Amino acid sequence: MNINFQELLQNKEYLDKVISVEPYHYKLLFELRNGYRIPLTITFSPLFPMQLPIVHINEKYHHIPDIPHVMRSGLVCFLEKEGVIWSDIPERTLDFVFDRVERVLISNSPQIEYHREFSYYFGTLENTNHVFSVYTPEDEPTEISVLAMGGKPFAFLTNDMKSRSLLGKLLNTNIKSRNLEKAYYIPLDNTYKGKVPQFDRFWSNEEITSLIRNHISEDTLLKITKFSMNKKRYFYMLRIPLLTGDQAIIGLWYEKVNHSLSKKIIPLIDDSVVDDFIVTPLFIFRNDDTTLIERGGGIKKPLNTLLVGCGSVGSDLLFMLARSGMKNFTLIDDDRMKIENSYRHFLGMNKSIESKPKVELLKEEFENRYPNVHIKTIENEVLDTIENGEIELNDFDLILVAIGDPNIERRLNKLILESSTPAIFTWVEAYGIGGHALVVNNGGNGCYECLIDSELRLYSSLAGKSEVPFIKNMNGCAGAFTPYGSIDSMETALLASRLVFRFLEDDIKGNPLVSWKGSSKTFEESGFKTSDRYNQPKDILGQDDYEYIDRSCNACSNLKDVAYYDQY
Report DSSP letters for 285-348, one per residue.
EE-SHHHHHHHTT---S--EEEEE--SHHHHHHHHHHHHTT--EEEEE---B--GGGTTTSTT-
CATH number given to 303-558: 3.40.50.720
What value does the mean pLDDT take over residues 476-498?
78
User: Which region among 155-164, 283-292, 358-367, 501-510 has the lowest average model confidence (pLDDT)?
Assistant: 283-292
Backbone torsion region of residue 284, taken as left when φ is above 0, otherwise alpha when ψ lies between -120 and 50, otherwise beta = beta
User: Which region among 10-24, 334-348, 494-508 has the lowest average model confidence (pLDDT)?
Assistant: 334-348
Positive or negative, the CA dihedral 118, 123, 129, 132 is: positive
* Contacting residues for 72 by C-beta, under 8 A, at least 6 apart: 64, 124, 198, 199, 200
Integer Cα distance of 241 and 546 in angstroms: 48
What value does the mean pLDDT take over residues 166-177?
79
Residue 111 has pLDDT above 60, yes or no: yes
Residue 294 has pLDDT above 80, yes or no: no
What value does the mean pLDDT take over residues 32-50?
94
Q: Quote the pLDDT of residue 352.
A: 67
Residue 72 near residue 198, CB atoms below 8 Å: yes
What value does the mean pLDDT take over residues 97-116?
85
Q: Quote the pLDDT of residue 526.
A: 86
Banded model confidence at residue 127, pLDDT cuts 50, 70, 90: confident
Integer Cα distance of 552 and 549 in angstroms: 9
Please tell me whether the overall predicted TM-score, pTM, comes out greater than 0.85 for this model: no
312-323 and 358-369 are packed helices; what angle lies between their axes, rounded to 10 degrees?
20
The SS3 of residue 410 is: helix
Type and span of the H or E element at 18: strand 15-22
Q: Quote the pLDDT of residue 476.
A: 45
User: Which region among 340-349, 458-467, 532-541 has the lowest average model confidence (pLDDT)?
Assistant: 340-349
Integer Cα distance of 29 and 14 in angstroms: 8
Q: Quote the pLDDT of residue 34.
A: 87
Percentage of the chain modeled with pLDDT above 90: 54
What value does the mean pLDDT take over residues 236-245?
94
Q: Quote the pLDDT of residue 371.
A: 81
Q: Quote the pLDDT of residue 80.
A: 72
Banded model confidence at residue 216, pLDDT cuts 50, 70, 90: very high
Backbone torsion region of residue 191, taken as left when φ is above 0, otherwise alpha when ψ lies between -120 and 50, otherwise beta = beta
Residue 554 has pLDDT above 60, yes or no: yes
Residue 116 has pLDDT above 60, yes or no: yes
**469 or 394, greater pLDDT:** 394
Angstrom CA distances, 498 to 142, 346, 424, 480, 533, stand at: 38, 19, 11, 31, 22
- Whether the bond into 141 is cis, omega within 30 of 0: no
Strands 423-428 and 180-187: unpaired
What value does the mean pLDDT take over residues 217-244?
89
Q: Quote the pLDDT of residue 567.
A: 44
**Three-state secondary structure string covering 140-188:** CCEEEEEEEECCEEEEEECCCHHHHHHHHHHHCCCCCHHHEEEEEEEEC
- List, in sequence order, every residue forming a beta bridge with 551; answer none if it has no partner: none
172-204 residue pLDDT tens = 788 887 889 999 999 999 999 988 887 778 888
The SS3 of residue 132 is: strand
User: Which region among 67-81, 319-333, 493-507 has the lowest average model confidence (pLDDT)?
Assistant: 67-81
Residue 21 has pLDDT above 90, yes or no: yes
Residue 481 has pLDDT above 60, yes or no: no
Domain ranges of the chain: 5-106, 116-292, 303-558
Q: What is the mean pLDDT of the chain?
A: 87
**472 or 231, greater pLDDT:** 231
Integer Cα distance of 522 and 429 in angstroms: 13
Residue 49 near residue 90, CB atoms below 8 Å: yes
Backbone torsion region of residue 446, taken as left when φ is above 0, otherwise alpha when ψ lies between -120 and 50, otherwise beta = left
Q: Quote the pLDDT of residue 478.
A: 44
Q: Quote the pLDDT of residue 204.
A: 86
Integer Cα distance of 401 and 443 in angstroms: 18
Banded model confidence at residue 376, pLDDT cuts 50, 70, 90: very high
Q: Quote the pLDDT of residue 262.
A: 65
Read off φ and ψ for residue 332, nearest 5 degrees: -125, 125
Q: Quote the pLDDT of residue 292.
A: 58
Residue 343 near residue 489, CB atoms below 8 Å: no
Q: Quote the pLDDT of residue 341.
A: 65
531-544 residue pLDDT tens = 999 999 999 999 99
Read off φ and ψ for residue 516, nearest 5 degrees: -130, 155
Integer Cα distance of 239 and 247 in angstroms: 6
What value does the mean pLDDT take over residues 93-117?
87
CATH number given to 5-106: 3.10.110.10
Residue 493 near residue 324, CB atoms below 8 Å: no
Type and span of the H or E element at 122: helix 118-123
Residue 411 has pLDDT above 90, yes or no: yes
Residue 301 has pLDDT above 70, yes or no: no
Integer Cα distance of 510 and 439 in angstroms: 8
What value does the mean pLDDT take over residues 206-216?
91
The SS3 of residue 75 is: strand
End-to-end C-alpha distance for the chain, whole angstroms: 57
Percentage of the chain modeled with pLDDT above 70: 88
* Contacting residues for 87 by C-beta, under 8 A, at least 6 apart: 49, 93, 96
Banded model confidence at residue 419, pLDDT cuts 50, 70, 90: very high
Q: Quote the pLDDT of residue 474.
A: 47
